[in-house]
Amino acid sequence: MNFDVNFIKGCSAIGAGLALIAGIGPGVGQGIAAGHAAAAVGRNPGARSDITATMLLGQAVAETTGLYGLLVAMLLMFVQPLAR
């Protein structure tokens, strides 16, 4: 199949945009986690370090989804093996 280069670049741009939607979920989830952690520290200030450590670990794991989406978007935008 011989596709036009502009068609492939356009499809890559659309795919990159869709891949960046993956950044919405971690952003919302991290905001909710930070809010719940702040409420937990307000209820029990003595457990601040444990709550903060657990929250940061959870946010680091959740952020990998957004980073993978960004990686896929960058690959689609800048590495186009079919466009020769």
Name the residue ranges covered by the structural domains of the chain. 5-76
Alpha carbon of 48 to those of 20, 34, 39, 51, 60: distances in Å? Answer: 33, 12, 11, 5, 18
Q: What is the pLDDT of residues 25-41, one digit of tens each?
A: 888 988 998 999 999 99
79 three-class SS? coil
* pLDDT confidence bin for 5, thresholds 50/70/90: confident
* Residue 1: pLDDT over 60: no
84 is written with which tokens? 């020769």
The reply to whether CATH 1.20.20.10 applies to domain 5-76 is yes
